[in-house]
Amino acid sequence: MDLRSILLPPGTFTIGKKFDFEAGHRLAGLAPGHKCARQHGHSYEVEVILTAPTLENPGFVTDFGLLGPFKAFLDTELDHRDLHEILPFEPTSERLAQFLAGWFIQHLQPKVHGRLVAVIVRETRSSWARFHMEER
The 10 Å CB-count burial string (b at 16+, else e) for 19-58 is bebebebbbeeeeeeeeeeeeeebebbbbbbbbbeeeeee
Q: Is 40 annotated as a binding residue?
A: yes
Half-sphere exposure of 47 (CA within 13 A, CB side): 15
Catalytic residue (choose from 22, 34, 80, 132): 80
Check residue 6 and report its DSSP letter: S
Rg of the chain on CA atoms, in Å:
18
Residue 36 a catalytic site member? yes
Active site residue 80: yes
94 is catalytic: no
Distance CA 56, CA 37 (A): 46
Rounded to the nearest angstrom, the gap between the alpha carbon of residue 5 and the centroid of all alpha carbons in its chain is: 38
Is 84 within any annotated ligand binding site? no
Binding residue numbers: 25, 40, 42
List residues forming the annotated binding site for Zn(2+).
Answer: 25, 40, 42
Catalytic residue numbers, as ranges: 36, 80, 123
